């Protein structure tokens, strides 16, 4: 996938900030938020015009009537304007209104038909498009949506990490699962990557810490929902901050350097590389032994998966975690993966021999 830099995202090393209300609610509300943001140094204004709500009956956005309000923000305040599009009709109307940046929402990214429709409507247009991650943690679906846009000739693409939905009680509205944006960044280092802490958090108190985490992970910028009267917002009231709170959050962010040439770093990195090499060697040795055990199990007519043995191994490793200051869940996940790969290897031994 090939794409160009997004010129208006060039902030001279500062994190890029896109801010504005979850939804455009009225012309006064839009102008008031935009004016306050502009005076605090924000240059890209967001507002949802068409709102994809999970349940019907909630505020579903003002629709195209709100586009002239955004156009006013652009002409009177000189800000860039951004909104979400989910259909070809949205694309046409947003382009007609002079919207500068479009974004594809999480529910839309999860639907290749909808993304294709948007991509087709954008053919021949030169506009930056930001693609939010799909609601489910599927990196291929996220990449696929961007590819559809690139294939339609869109050259300026960015990704927005807004977390992933899950079932049950949770601390975040949408679990961050940072490993996905990290993997995306690894595969496409030049792709602008923004974080939307508002939709990850679901509550304003968590926005600062999530924004800091995004900065620490070298994200290029933030999209933060901002409203002059968040408590009365017609959508996402719990997670919106005031323009002053936004400034306070941005002011507290610590920026760390990306590349450090210090010899200490080189030394540490070499050690890490050596440890990783050892881990890989050990892992392949472990798989070799697993295959040999697979042969034995086959000869003795034993089933591959022995639950008591698995539980015993897990218990043993959990004991190491506290001492090693490693999160027990992380170790569990690592060993679950290693174990499932061993099982896969043993099953393939069985199948090879049965064939």
If one asks whether residue 106 binds ligand PEP (CB under 6 A), the answer comes out as yes
User: Binding string, 9-38, against ligand PEP, x = CB under 6 A?
Assistant: -------------x----------------
Contact with Mn ion (CB under 5 A) among 81, 82, 236, 290: 236
Q: Under a CB-based contact definition with an 8 Å cutoff, are residues 28 and 3 in contact?
A: no
- State yes or no: residue 48 binds ligand PEP (CB under 6 A): yes
Answer whether 119's CB lies under 8 Å from 102's CB. Answer: no
Place of tokens 């382009």: 95
If the CB atoms of residues 97 and 110 are measured against ligand PEP, the closer one turns out to be 110
Using CA atoms, how far residue 311 sits from 102, 177, 308, in Å, is 49, 26, 5
Q: Give me the least distance between CB of 60 and Mn ion, in Å please.
A: 12
Residue numbers 195-224 binding ligand PEP by CB under 6 A: 196, 199
| Residue nearest ligand PEP by beta-carbon distance | 105
Short-list 177, 240, 185, 211, CA closest to 46: 240
One of 20, 61, 66, 105 touching ligand PEP (CB under 6 A): 105
Q: Tell me whether residue 107 or residue 297 sits nearer to Mn ion (CB atom).
A: 107
Q: Where do runs of H (alpha helix) occur along the chain?
A: 27-39, 67-77, 88-96, 106-109, 112-122, 139-151, 179-187, 197-201, 207-216, 243-252, 263-299, 307-324, 328-354
Tokens found for residue 96: 């007609």
What tokens were used for 236?
Answer: 């996402």
Nearer to ligand PEP, 121 or 201 (CB): 201
Give the number of other Cβ atoms within 10 Å of residue 63's Cβ: 13
Closest approach, Cβ 223 to Mn ion, in A, equals 10
246 neighbors 45 (Cβ within 8 angstroms): no
- Render 25-44 in DSSP notation, one character per residue: --HHHHHHHHHHHHHTT--E
Query: Choosing among Mn ion, ligand PEP, none, which partner's interface includes residue 132 (Cβ < 5 to 8 Å by kind)?
Result: ligand PEP
105 binds, among Mn ion, ligand PEP, none (CB under 5 to 8 A by kind): ligand PEP
Of 126-155, binders to ligand PEP (CB under 6 A) are 132
Residue of closest CB approach to Mn ion = 22
Q: In this chain, which of 6, 17, 22, 37 binds Mn ion, going by CB under 5 A? A: 22
Q: Measured between alpha carbons, how far is residue 80 from residues 71, 89, 104, 105, 158 in Å?
A: 9, 21, 17, 19, 16
Cβ of residue 329: shortest distance to ligand PEP, in angstroms? Answer: 25
Q: Taking CB under 6 A as the rule, does residue 162 contact ligand PEP? A: yes
User: Where on the chain is the footprint of ligand PEP (CB under 6 A)?
Assistant: 22, 48, 52, 84, 105-106, 132, 162, 196, 199
User: Where on the chain is the footprint of Mn ion (CB under 5 A)?
Assistant: 22, 236
């Amino acid at each position: 996938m090939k794409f160009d830099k997004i010129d208006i995202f060039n902030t001279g090393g500062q994190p890029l900030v896109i801010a504005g209300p979850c939804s455009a609610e009225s012309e006064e509300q839009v102008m008031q938020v935009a004016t306050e943001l502009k005076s605090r140094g924000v240059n890209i204004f967001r507002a949802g015009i068409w709102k994809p709500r999970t349940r019907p009956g909630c505020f579903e956005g003002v629709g195209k009537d709100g586009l002239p309000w955004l156009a006013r923000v652009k002409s009177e305040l000189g800000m860039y304007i951004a909104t979400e599009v989910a259909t070809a009709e949205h694309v046409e109307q947003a382009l007609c209104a002079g919207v500068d940046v479009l974004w594809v929402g999480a529910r839309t990214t999860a639907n290749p038909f909808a993304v294709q429709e948007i991509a087709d409507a954008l053919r021949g247009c030169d506009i930056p498009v930001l693609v939010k991650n799909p609601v489910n943690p599927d990196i291929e679906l996220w990449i696929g949506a961007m590819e559809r846009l690139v294939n339609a000739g869109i050259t300026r693409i960015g990704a927005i990490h807004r977390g992933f939905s899950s079932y049950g009680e949770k601390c975040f509205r949408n679990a961050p699962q940072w490993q996905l944006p990290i993997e995306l960044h690894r595969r496409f280092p030049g792709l602008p990557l923004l974080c939307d802490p508002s939709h990850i958090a679901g509550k304003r108190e968590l926005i600062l810490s999530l924004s800091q985490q995004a900065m620490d992970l070298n994200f290029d910028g933030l999209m933060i929902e901002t409203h002059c009267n968040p408590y009365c917002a017609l959508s996402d009231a719990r997670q919106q901050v005031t323009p002053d709170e936004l400034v306070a959050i941005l002011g507290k962010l610590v920026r760390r350097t990306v590349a450090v040439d210090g010899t200490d770093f080189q030394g540490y990195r070499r050690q890490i590389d050596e440890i990783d090499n050892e881990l890989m060697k050990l892992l392949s040795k472990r798989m070799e032994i697993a295959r040999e055990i697979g042969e034995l199990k086959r000869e003795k007519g034993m089933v591959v998966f022995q639950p008591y043995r698995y539980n015993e191994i897990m218990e043993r490793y959990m004991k190491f975690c506290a001492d090693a200051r490693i999160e027990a869940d992380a170790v569990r996940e690592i060993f679950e993966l290693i174990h499932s790969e061993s099982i896969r290897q043993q099953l393939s031994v069985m199948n090879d021999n049965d064939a």
